[in-house]
């Protein structure tokens, strides 16, 4: 398995500001992913982050709102830009190693509240 940490674990932010969430994996991984878990809803993939290339965004998510960086094989960041109360969610990072049947491992999540 992979051990994944996220910072911050939670934050309360004001409308219109931005927050950058960091995701660190304890070993090199091929793929990293960012998911959102809104209250009462299923986890939804925001984007897939490949090292050295642009992130691939899912329908309904755009780079201007959720810019992602992946500078190396163990680290990624997600920024939630120009926040509104609708962005209040748990944001989770996950990762997959080469091989292993595409099993994904998740970080502890970042609980974001926008006021």
Residues lying near other proteins in the complex (CB under 8 A): 1, 4, 6, 31, 33, 35, 40-45, 48, 58, 92, 94, 96, 101-109, 111
Long-range contacts, stretch 37-43, CB < 8 angstroms, 24+ apart: 37/89, 37/90, 37/91, 37/92, 37/109, 38/88, 38/89, 39/88, 39/89, 43/92
Nearer to other proteins, 75 or 106 (CB): 106
Give the Cα separation of 115 and 101 in Å (integer). Answer: 41
Q: How far is the CB of 60 from other proteins (least distance, A)?
A: 13
Nearer to other proteins, 14 or 102 (CB): 102
Q: How far is the CB of 16 from other proteins (least distance, A)?
A: 27
Q: How far is the CB of 38 from other proteins (least distance, A)?
A: 11
Nearer to other proteins, 33 or 66 (CB): 33
Nearest Cα neighbor of 87 from 70, 110, 69 is 110
Q: How far is the CB of 82 from other proteins (least distance, A)?
A: 25
Nearest Cα neighbor of 34 from 104, 114, 115 is 104
Token representation of residue 114 = 């926008």
Nearer to other proteins, 28 or 84 (CB): 28
């Amino acid at each position: 398995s992979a051990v994944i940490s996220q910072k911050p674990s939670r934050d309360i932010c004001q409308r219109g500001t931005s927050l950058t969430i960091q995701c660190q994996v304890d070993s090199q991984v091929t793929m990293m992913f960012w998911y959102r878990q809104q209250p009462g809803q299923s986890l939804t993939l925001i984007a897939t982050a490949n090292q050295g290339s642009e992130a691939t965004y899912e329908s309904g998510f755009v780079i201007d709102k959720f810019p992602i960086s992946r500078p190396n094989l163990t680290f990624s960041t997600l920024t939630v830009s120009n926040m509104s109360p609708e962005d209040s969610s748990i944001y989770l990072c996950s990762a997959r190693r080469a091989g292993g049947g595409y099993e994904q491992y998740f970080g502890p999540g970042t609980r974001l509240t926008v006021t």
